[in-house]
Structure 1
């Protein structure tokens, strides 16, 4: 069994960093009360982690190729542990958000190296087994996040969702030191620092603008200003990458129509399938009165359906062209979100089950197909970069999805309130619905209707994003039309 220790080391880190994307979901209402933070603060607690992970993933991979993958993985584990401790000890929302960003940096260092470490540790059949287990662990992390977060929050307090990372990090470091060998890319080039800075600035400015727009209005000076800064940074990134001798992302990859379709699907999948969990958790706990564990369990149908589809149907999906599994799966994700939009003021948690099952089936169809399709769409020499771009798109989709859907949720709750009570929108979306109802029981029906309004807007837009992603994938990933040979010229008349 000693040969599987490298797999254990890698899976410990991967499971932990992916769980931390969603583990805070069910803890946010308790965080809001304890730290007296508002809706935008709650969004940032989730968003900053995914945003940092997305922005630095490609750069971390390039650094690992040059400095050593084992070394960067261990550094990521250490940084993740320290940041987790700091998150658990944070005394205010600003400190918590800052330390979540540092957590994202450590996660990027770990995530960027996991596949390369497995690739170097195993060959032949063992490599296939290792990647299969690693993929299953990644899927299990999505299911475990809300449940683990709920158990820890309900029985020990929300700070333990961060403290629990410390022993896991220590075990991962120990197993890595004992079993994982060092590896590098002898042909690795230097870091693309200008590309990293401009990409991070673009993603950060756009996300900040989306959150500010939902909070302060889309025409406010700050919102428009950050959209402009984001656009400038994005253009700068494209210019830098086009001119760089060692680009973080080779823009030539996007000459492949199929690759564009794959990246679009990856971006929209996270936004359409996962970004609304925060707002659903708010509804389950602060309006329906469910505890963190029950709220986490209410979200399990999606993960369960995704696991079953990817495990059972996955063995047959490879027989289909990737455009059908990716495009069809995205259409299911969109349809599931639209089913969730059937929520009403008198609904309870079972109304979520059909939509979560359908969306989960879509996730199970899309997930296993995206990576293989990305590898097939590019030259073998660009496979590592394509994989990094795929993971970046997924995490960026999560960050942007939380920001976009958050603005819609807040606006929907506000519009669902009577004009005389619209000042309640901020406390309601900050997890204080139970307190509002407790002070004024006559408002219970008003609060339930307002939350249903916000959730419906959120689910409808998520559904549109999923359907759009499916249609784009089906169109962009279609085989290139064969070019008919030119007809032979008729001989000239004599």
Structure 2
């Protein structure tokens, strides 16, 4: 097993100790944090910046639905599948080296994507970008964890978490802005100068925090975890189009879960595991990981339908729709710095469930939006969601990083990142599938009752975008009625999907109250003559 010290069968939480090299923190830690946040922002934005460019890519590259799906999913699949191996490689061979290499590969992939002449080349470039991003994201958090002392680390992780969340939301806004003034390749080429700036910052300020050469790489574990996550995430992403019970979907999911089980068996028996899985026996770690998964499930699922609502029902342009999602980013940016302070005073057992309850409440508020709902009501709901996520992310990420042994901080950060990706993919797949099914059923019934032609019913019920096109082609009162019926059906479907996400968030809030340990409390100690009384913290239960 790992050489980490043991306590009741689980690894010691070395992450809560001062950095060995810099007990008071690295003297350049503030500048290091800025460089790490810039590096993180580049790869996080790319999760969503492409969404606004998909219609343009379909037109310019003659990309069909399947090609567009692969252009989007290639990045996510490669990114999610390689996060844990990449984090472990950083722990063993150098986190700074991992960050530099990842940024360089990411910039190379971005350049290739910008000049792609066809869908095949673009999909390949997106895979290269995902490979680079997989090395960047875990390196940023593990370096941050090493250069800040324990008393400052929660605030630093709060800043990191805010950038991770805000980047997802501002991606579509930036994409819309670029497309309004430049060609489609600009959504990829924008990464190159940002990466160049980040690389200069890394070279000048970021130290090496790992201890390379400690243990040999667990090649078996690397292959197993990469293969299992690739299969599971691909099954989740493809399930809405293939069908949740389609043979290929079920086979891929079963194979992925089986490989994940073998990975767990292997990691618990090998001498030098990628990550000491005994950390999952720590309630605080497992509960925090679950909270991160659920919060990203709710975020990505709701953003998926909200973007369509703003653009297709309200008629906003991609840029205008992105701007109208910014209250989420602003609220999260405001709540994130406060969350470590609240967690220090009230405990994560209060703050994390409170944030998840806020997310659930914001989702319920958003689910009441109708076809003609004014924007301020939508903005308020989105802001409540952002505040909830801001309260959850920093305390949960801090708990995860302080539970993992220090020499496995990169792999621990990768777990934190992987559960985000899996939660987000599940959110889009489940909320999107449910909304699509409700929309299809409701609009089909409405149009069939109005005795619309079968071909019209079939095409209009496929998506609200298709219904808008058909309505414009039909024109007149009949076309207007078709579009109105489609918008009404979509709003109903959106409400159903968002309510499911809200229920999941609220149920998880209750579960987190039960699962998260209580705060340590002072325990009186016997006093010897002439000895000063010092309270001892009781073990959290």
In the alignment, the residues of structure 1 paired with residue 157 and residue 192 of structure 2 have an alpha-carbon distance, to the nearest angstrom, of 26
Partner of 2:458: 423
Measured after TM superposition, the shift of residue 80 of structure 1 is 0.5
Alignment pair present for 1:437 and 2:463:
no
What is the number of residues matched between the two proteins? 480
Partner of 2:486: 447
Partner of 2:44: 18
In the alignment, the residues of structure 2 paired with residue 416 and residue 40 of structure 1 have an alpha-carbon distance, to the nearest angstrom, of 26
Pair 1:119–1:373, CA change in 2 (3 A): closer
Measured after TM superposition, the shift of residue 44 of structure 1 is 5.0
Pair 1:216–1:10, CA change in 2 (3 A): closer
Partner of 1:414: 440
**Alpha-carbon contact 1:39-1:426 (below 8 Å) kept:** no
1:469 pairs, out of 508, 511, 515, with 508
Q: Normalising to structure 1: TM-score of the pair?
A: 0.86
Partner of 1:105: 131
Aligned-pair Cα RMSD in Å: 3.2
In the alignment, the residues of structure 2 paired with residue 219 and residue 133 of structure 1 have an alpha-carbon distance, to the nearest angstrom, of 41
**Alpha-carbon contact 1:286-1:433 (below 8 Å) kept:** no
Alignment pair present for 1:267 and 2:306:
no
> 1:358-383 CA distances to partner (integer Å, 9 max, x unpaired)?
21121011012112222455566665
**Alpha-carbon contact 2:77-2:234 (below 8 Å) kept:** no
Which protein is richer in helix relative to its size?
1
**Alpha-carbon contact 1:26-1:296 (below 8 Å) kept:** no
Measured after TM superposition, the shift of residue 256 of structure 1 is 1.6
Alignment pair present for 1:197 and 2:235:
no
Q: 1:320-335 to 2 correspondence within 5 Å?
A: 320-335=346-361
Pair 1:29–1:276, CA change in 2 (3 A): farther
Partner of 1:490: none
Q: Structure 2: 5+ residue runs without aligned partners?
A: 1-26, 449-453, 522-541
> 1:145-199 CA distances to partner (integer Å, 9 max, x unpaired)?
2321221122224431111011111222233334444453146322233323323
Is 2-11 or 383-392 further displaced after alignment?
2-11
> 1:401-437 CA distances to partner (integer Å, 9 max, x unpaired)?
22222222322221222254452267636x5554333
SS at match of 1:24: helix
**Alpha-carbon contact 1:269-1:469 (below 8 Å) kept:** no
Measured after TM superposition, the shift of residue 317 of structure 1 is 3.4
Measured after TM superposition, the shift of residue 202 of structure 1 is 2.6
2:284 pairs, out of 241, 258, 278, with 258
> 1:337-360 CA distances to partner (integer Å, 9 max, x unpaired)?
222221334446445223212211
Is 97-106 or 253-262 further displaced after alignment?
97-106
Partner of 1:240: 266
Partner of 1:401: 427
Alignment pair present for 1:149 and 2:184:
no
Partner of 2:533: none
Measured after TM superposition, the shift of residue 43 of structure 1 is 5.3
Q: 1:374-385 to 2 correspondence within 5 Å?
A: 374-377=400-403, 385=411
In the alignment, the residues of structure 1 paired with residue 72 and residue 506 of structure 2 have an alpha-carbon distance, to the nearest angstrom, of 25
Partner of 2:366: 340
**Alpha-carbon contact 2:141-2:413 (below 8 Å) kept:** no
Q: Normalising to structure 2: TM-score of the pair?
A: 0.79
Q: 1:275-314 to 2 correspondence within 5 Å?
A: 275-312=301-338, 314=340
Partner of 1:68: 94
Measured after TM superposition, the shift of residue 37 of structure 1 is 5.1
SS at match of 2:345: coil
In the alignment, the residues of structure 1 paired with residue 483 and residue 33 of structure 2 have an alpha-carbon distance, to the nearest angstrom, of 51
Pair 1:198–1:313, CA change in 2 (3 A): closer
SS at match of 1:275: helix
In the alignment, the residues of structure 2 paired with residue 426 and residue 167 of structure 1 have an alpha-carbon distance, to the nearest angstrom, of 43
In the alignment, the residues of structure 2 paired with residue 344 and residue 94 of structure 1 have an alpha-carbon distance, to the nearest angstrom, of 40
**Alpha-carbon contact 2:356-2:506 (below 8 Å) kept:** yes
